[in-house]
Amino acid sequence: MVAVTALAGCAGVEYREDMCSDGEYPVLSVGGTGSACVPDAEEPSSGFARYPEGKVPQQVDDKWDVYWDTHTLDEDGTVVDAPEPG
């Protein structure tokens, strides 16, 4: 009976996938909605930028991951609406 109770307690736990592996951080494609992961000790490659402080997605489909589906950064680092797909 104890094992059943313990398993039932986990039923409401939802698995969330991290954006990047340990030792990496997410970066955003400048002018687009693509993203990538970069090792902590490296700077983003050309065409990518760090997410603005406080707006960094941590897990797939979290608040900021969804936000960046429709927003991006321009060449000056300003948050703008993402271009329409197509």
d(CA 57, CA 6): 31
Distances (CA, A) of 77 to 56, 80, 84: 14, 9, 19
Using alpha carbons, select from 51, 23, 21, 22 the residue that is nearest to residue 35.
51
pLDDT for 16:
84
pLDDT for 5:
47
pLDDT for 61:
95
Say whether 10 sits in a helix, a strand or coil: coil
Low-confidence spans in the chain with pLDDT less than 70:
1-12, 86
Q: Is the pTM of this model over 0.85?
A: no
d(CA 77, CA 57): 17
Longest CA pairwise span in the chain (Å):
61
